[in-house]
Structures are given as C-alpha cells and as structure tokens.
C-alpha cells in the first residue's frame, strides 16, 4: 500500500447541512489519493461504485490521482452509524491493477452477477474524480445516480452504468460501454481495433469515428432511428441467432441487427438501444 | 429505493436477452418439426410484410429474411450533418411445440419479408395485413391463406386451399385437388382467377356483385342467378325481394364445394392440365 493521502476532510453535519429528505442526517468527507502502478505489464484501473459519478481524465503522468467525495445520508443516528460501519471503500494499488471498490456487507459489488439490494435506512454516495496515465485499461462501474465520464484515454475499456449515462470523449481502444437508463456517447480519435459494444435500453447511442475508419457496424433499435454519415454498404446479417429449448418447446430468435460495412470492413462494432436513436458519425463533421 | 433494485435486476436480464447468440447467419435459419415423419402445422403471421412460400422435399423449414436496402441520405434533425437513415433489419421468432410451428416478427412495426421453404404435406396457415403480398409456389399440402391489403398468388400448388383477401386479387394455379376437401377463394375488391385441373370433381359456387364470371369449363347442372323471396319484418308481413347472384354448377359430375367469389371484380375459372 503505497498510496499517499494528501488531504482528508470529515464534515459531520447532523441536522444542519442540506439533507436529501426532510429529517435526514448527512455527512460528507473527501479524500485525495495518489497511487502507483507496479509491474511492467498492462495497467488497469478498476472502479466499482454503487451510487455516484465516475469521472476519468487522461494525462501524461505515471500515477493515478484520485479524489473521492463521500456523502452519507441516513434517516437517524443509528442508521448513520450503520452506514459508517457497513459501507467500505476498498482501495488497492502498487500492483498492475489499481482498484477502488465500494463494498456493502453481504452484497455483490457493482457488476456482480447477483444484483444489489440497497439498504433502506441510508444512502452512501461516492463520487470519483480521477486523473490517470493515458494507456491504462479501464474497468468502471456504477449503478445509481451517477454518470461515467471518460476523456483522453487510449487503453481498452469496460464501462457500465445502470441509471445514468456514459460519455467518452477523444478516446481510443476497444471495449464495452453499456448502461440501462441513459445515453451512451463515445468519440474516438482512432477507431477500435477489436469488437466493441455500445448499448443502452433507454437513451440514444452515438459514436464518432475518424473518417478513415474501416469497420462493420451492427445497429439496432426498437423505437428510434439508425443513422450514419459514413458511406456504408449493406452486409448479410451475422450477429447471431438465439436457440432455446424448454421441455418440448423450442424457440429461435434472430437478433435483428442491421449490418453495414464502411471502408474495407474490420472490427465489429455493435450499437444498440431499445428506446432511442443509434448514430455513427464521422469525426470531421 | 425500489427503483434501484428494479433497475439492477433488469440489467442481467437485458444482457442475458442480448447475449448467448451463436454465429449462425440470421438471414437464413433452419427449424425442425419435433416429429418430422408426420405432417406438421406451420403458422406465419405478419402485420407488415410479405410471405413467400416454396415447397420442398426437405424435412426442415428454412426461413430467410430479406436483406435491408439502403435508402437515400436525409437531414438528421439531431446530428451535425446529412445522415443516412438505415432501414431496420427485421427480427423473427420461431416457436415449435408438438409439431406446430409458428413464425412471427419480433417487432410488428418493422416490415418483414419472409422467404420460407416448407416441407410438402405440411398444413400452412399464412396471414398478412399491410406492406406485402403472399406468394406460394411448388407446394403440395394444405393452405389457409389470408390477407387484408396484399395480393395472393398461388403457383403450381396441390392439395386444398382456403384463400381470402380484402383489397387485392387472388390468382391461383392448382395442379392437384385433394379429394373430399372443400376449397374457397374469396376477395372483396380484387379479381379472383383460379385454374383447376381439368379432371377436378367439384360443386362450384361462383359469384361477383360488380363484375363478370368467366370459365372455359363445361359446368353441369348450372343454376344461374335467380330471384327468390322471403318474409321478414316484425311489424307485419313484408315481402323482401333478393336476387341471388351465385352461379352454382358441377364439374365432372360434382364433388366437394369450391367457392370462388368477389364483390368488385371478375371471377375467372380456368381449365388447367
């Protein structure tokens, strides 16, 4: 554990500071961390939040500079004590992966397979603001009341949200950006070199790529439009067929993606919404 | 906090729903009846789109969806430039149980054009509403075909046929007629043109309200349009005069009933080979 805590403020404001709901107790704290990678292999930043924003910005340094704003709100003092005791920010560095993971007792962390059931008596919000080396791989996850913002990174990415949008600006690399309720927007300075997915249920999906991009786009929406200003040609759909069998009933579903190619084709980029438009735009425009 | 829990429980379901896909080509998929040795029943229903059926000696049903055709660029209201709107590829769901298979579009608002190869001797039920016709060719089995705004074209089909559309014509060429099975070809606002094998034994019922009836068959026991009368009215006896416009006749001594009828258009009954 080689991190340096530069600054920490704990502000207890029972009954006085602005509360989420009338009668709530709130408590705020902030900490600033500088963390270091170890090893010469690929470096990864893993942030798993439950409630709050994750903002990541690339810079030309070697360390990860992380500011964490923690906000607790509770119905009463007993719940506030429970919040302080239950919710833990697990931080680790001096390894190839630097992580900051919000943990609740007996709960999956963000991205876990078992889902998450929140405590009814308190909220624990963590807002992360991070500066990191440009090439670091990203694993970012939040669930509620937060957005995920990424700018300037060139490493691969795995970014997920549930109730909030994802915005990636001037990035490179390949990966997945998936949310449920919110838009997904990503602008690339160089196109993904491997298969990548951009998906939401409620919101627009928009990616911006260099004009010279060669790729295959699989695009789909239920209530919205599929739009591009790239010169594209239709491709046979190959995004897949789902076959299921239960008892004596068998079911086949086609995924219904519109597949087009730009340039000579290449990495398969999947863009999907249920209620929203899907756009693939040229960067020069 | 219920919203949070609901949203999270939705996320894995969404991923599950979208995941698990194989790399099978979605534009041409194959489906089997659970007992291919017995004739199955195929039900295909579309709201927007066309259905094209071709008979085959294969045991499987092979379903093709037509590739998307790119349209002209247009001004995007939200985007920064003139954007091309891409048509959405249709998605279909195929369900089979107990030798009964159904095919439907996952999103009825998207026009879905299906081209299906069907094993002969299958019972086929087809229905469409808008944006497409129904075409069946080289098929031998039972057909029950209905449309609202689509034409029905049956080419070189054998077996029994029930065909009905509202606003378009029916053109059918039948090379074999099942014995003892009645058939019907009816439209409201389109002509009906049926070619039957020359040896067909049937009782024909032919009718058009605004058009003519043509045939090159020799009909036996022909009874043409005739007046009839019946009593109706609750306030006293009234004489209602009704002119029956149905021509009834026998083919080759008679047999199962074949009704060929429209309201606006001609009726043609042609002698095939």
- pLDDT tens-digit series, residues B160-172: 999 999 999 999 9
Asked if residue A189 and residue A105 are part of one domain, the reply reads: no
- Which residues of chain B have a CB within 8 Å of the CB of A117? 5
- A23 and A123 housed in the same domain: yes
Burial class, B231, CB count within 10 angstroms (exposed 0-12 / middle 13-18 / buried 19+): exposed
**Tell me: the pLDDT tens digits for B175-199?**
999 988 999 999 999 999 999 999 9
Do residues A131 and A35 share a domain?
A: yes
Any residues with CB less than 8 A from the CB of B192 and at least 6 apart, and which? B169, B170, B185, B186, B260, B261, B262, B265, B266, B267, B268
Best of A110, A227, A262 to disrupt the B interface (most B CBs within 10 Å) is A227
State which residues form the domain around A26. Answer: 1-149
pLDDT in tens, A108-130: 899 887 777 777 789 999 999 99
Residues B208 and B263 in one domain: yes
Residues 25-64, chain A, touching B (beta carbon < 8 A): none
Please tell me whether residues B260 and B153 are part of one structural domain.
yes
Question: How confident is the model at residue B243, as a pLDDT?
Answer: 66
The residues of chain B scoring below 50 in pLDDT are: 1-23
Distance linking the first and last C-alpha atoms of chain B = 74
The verdict on A181 and A268 lying in the same domain is yes
Q: Are residues A140 and A254 in the same domain?
A: no
The confidence score (pLDDT) of residue B77 equals 61
Q: Is residue B90 part of a domain?
A: yes
What pLDDT does A156 receive?
98
Q: Give the residue on A whose Cα is nearest the Cα of B9.
A: A115
d(CA A19, CA A75): 10
Q: Are residues B191 and B153 in the same domain?
A: yes
- Indicate whether B187 and B144 sit together in one domain: yes
Question: A90, A124, A149: which is the final residue of a domain?
Answer: A149
Residue A16 lies in a domain: yes
Give the list of residues 6+ apart from residue A124 with CB closer than 8 angstroms, or none: A50, A51, A70, A71, A72, A83, A86, A87, A102, A104
Is A160 a domain residue?
A: no
Q: What is the C-alpha end-to-end distance of chain A, expressed in Å?
A: 46
Nearest CA in chain B to A221: B88
- Name the one residue in this structure whose structure tokens are 């109730």: A163
Co-location of B115 and B158 in the same domain = no
Does A155 fall in a domain? Answer: no
Report yes or no on B190 lying in a domain.
yes
Residue of chain B whose Cα is closest to the Cα of A120: B1
- Looking at residue B183, what is its pLDDT? 97
Between β-strands B152-164 and B82-86, what pairing exists: parallel, antiparallel or unpaired?
Answer: unpaired
User: In this complex, is the C-beta atom of A209 within 8 Å of any C-beta atom belonging to chain B?
Assistant: no
- Among the partner-chain residues B5, B93, B107, the one whose CB lies closest to the CB of A251 is B93
Nearest to A271 by CA among A260, A262, A279, A263: A279
Q: Is residue B207 one of the residues assigned to a domain?
A: yes
CA distance B29 to chain A (A): 8
Residue pLDDT tens, chain A, 285 long = 444 443 333 333 333 233 345 347 999 999 999 999 998 889 999 999 999 999 999 999 999 999 999 999 999 999 999 999 999 999 999 899 999 999 998 888 998 877 777 777 899 999 999 999 999 999 999 999 999 999 999 999 999 999 999 999 999 999 999 999 999 999 999 999 999 999 999 999 999 999 999 999 999 998 899 999 999 988 776 557 889 999 889 999 888 888 899 999 999 999 999 999 999 999 986
In a domain, B99, yes or no: yes
User: Chain B contact for A181, CB < 8 A?
Assistant: yes
Whether A256 is in a domain gets the answer yes
**One domain, residues B121 and B196:** no
**Residue reference for tokens 């207890």:** A12
Whether residues B122 and B138 fall in one domain: no
Residue B24 has its nearest CB partner, among A115, A226, A241, at: A241
Reported pTM: 0.75
Look up residue A250 and give its two tokens.
Answer: 């068998």
- Do A75 and A173 fall within a single domain? no
d(CA B152, CA B133): 6
Give residue B96's domain range.
26-66+86-126
**Inter-chain CB proximity B92 and A250 less than 8 Å:** no
**DSSP assignment, residue B90?**
P
User: Does one domain contain both B30 and B109?
Assistant: yes
Ramachandran sector of residue B7 (left: φ over 0; alpha: ψ -120 to 50; beta: rest):
alpha
Dist CA A251 CA B95 (whole Å): 4
Measure A96 CA to nearest chain B CA, in Å: 29
Split into its structural domains, chain B has a count of 2
Does residue B44 lie in a domain region? yes
Comparing C-alpha atoms, which of A85, A74, A69 is closest to residue A15? A74
Q: How many domains does chain A have?
A: 2
Residue B60 lies in a domain: yes
| Same domain? B199 vs B261 | yes
**b vs e for B67-103, b when ≥16 Cβ sit within 10 Å of the residue's Cβ?**
bbebeeeeebeebeeebbbbebbbbbebbbeebebeb
CB of A220 within 8 A of CB of A256?
yes
pLDDT for position B67? 60
Contact assignment for B27 to A242 by CB distance below 8 Å: no
Domain co-membership, A109 together with A226: no
- Using the beta-carbon criterion (under 8 Å), do B11 and A281 form an inter-chain contact? no
CB–CB contact B4 A229 (8 Å): no
Is A215 found in the same domain as A135? no
**Is A154 inside a domain boundary?**
no
State how far the Cα of A164 lies from the Cα of A147, in Å rounded to an integer: 5
Inspect the interface and report whether the beta carbons of A118 and B94 lie closer than 8 Å: no
Strand partners, B56: B119
């Amino acid at each position: 554990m080689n991190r340096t805590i530069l600054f920490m403020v704990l502000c207890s404001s029972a009954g006085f500071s602005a509360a989420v709901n009338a009668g709530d107790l709130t408590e705020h704290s902030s900490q600033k961390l500088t963390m270091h990678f170890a090893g010469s292999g690929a470096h990864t930043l893993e942030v798993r939040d439950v409630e709050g924003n994750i903002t990541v910005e690339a810079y030309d340094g070697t360390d990860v500079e992380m500011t964490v704003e923690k906000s607790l709100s509770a119905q009463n003092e007993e719940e506030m004590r429970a919040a302080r005791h239950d919710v833990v920010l697990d931080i680790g560095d001096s390894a190839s992966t630097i992580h900051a993971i919000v943990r609740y007792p007996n709960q999956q962390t963000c991205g876990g397979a078992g889902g998450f059931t929140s405590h009814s008596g308190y909220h624990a919000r963590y807002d992360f603001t991070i500066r990191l080396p440009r090439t670091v791989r990203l694993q970012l996850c939040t669930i509620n009341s937060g957005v995920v913002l990424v700018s300037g990174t060139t490493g691969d990415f795995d970014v997920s949200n549930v109730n909030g949008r994802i915005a990636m600006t001037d990035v490179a690399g390949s990966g997945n950006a998936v949310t449920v309720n919110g838009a997904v927007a990503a602008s690339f300075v160089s196109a993904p070199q491997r298969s990548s997915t951009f998906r939401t249920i409620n919101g627009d999906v928009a990616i911006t790529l260099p004009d010279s991009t060669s790729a295959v786009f699989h695009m789909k929406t239920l209530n919205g439009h599929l739009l591009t200003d790239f010169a594209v040609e239709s491709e046979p759909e190959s995004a897949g067929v789902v076959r299921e069998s239960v008892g004596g009933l068998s079911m086949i579903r086609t995924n219904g993606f519109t597949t087009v190619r730009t340039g000579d084709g290449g990495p398969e980029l999947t863009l999907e919404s249920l209620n929203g438009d899907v756009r693939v735009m040229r960067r020069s425009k | 906090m219920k919203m949070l829990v609901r949203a999270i429980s939705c996320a894995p379901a969404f991923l599950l729903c979208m995941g698990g896909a194989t790399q099978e080509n979605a534009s041409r998929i194959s489906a089997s009846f659970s007992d291919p040795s017995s004739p199955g029943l195929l039900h295909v229903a579309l709201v927007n789109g066309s259905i094209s059926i071709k008979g085959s000696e294969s045991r499987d049903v092979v379903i093709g969806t037509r590739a998307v055709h790119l349209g002209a660029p247009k001004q995007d209201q939200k985007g920064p430039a003139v954007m091309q709107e891409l048509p959405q590829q249709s998605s279909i769901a195929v369900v089979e149980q107990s030798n009964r298979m159904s095919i439907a579009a996952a999103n009825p608002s998207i026009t879905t054009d299906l081209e299906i190869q069907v094993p002969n001797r299958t019972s086929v039920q087809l229905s469409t509403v808008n944006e497409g016709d129904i075409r069946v060719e080289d098929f031998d089995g039972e057909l029950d075909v209905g449309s609202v705004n689509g034409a029905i074209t049956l080419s070189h089909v054998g077996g029994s046929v029930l065909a009905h559309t509202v606003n378009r014509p029916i053109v059918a060429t039948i090379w074999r007629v099942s014995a003892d099975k009645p058939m019907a070809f009816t439209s409201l606002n389109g002509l009906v043109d049926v070619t039957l094998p020359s040896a067909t034994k049937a009782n024909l019922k032919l009718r058009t309200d605004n058009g003519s009836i043509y045939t090159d068959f020799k009909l036996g026991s022909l009874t043409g349009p005739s007046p009839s009368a019946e009593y109706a009215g609750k306030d006293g006896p009234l004489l209602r005069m009704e002119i029956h416009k149905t021509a009834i006749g026998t083919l080759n001594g008679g047999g199962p009933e074949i009704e060929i009828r429209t309201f606006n258009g001609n009726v043609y009954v042609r002698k095939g080979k």
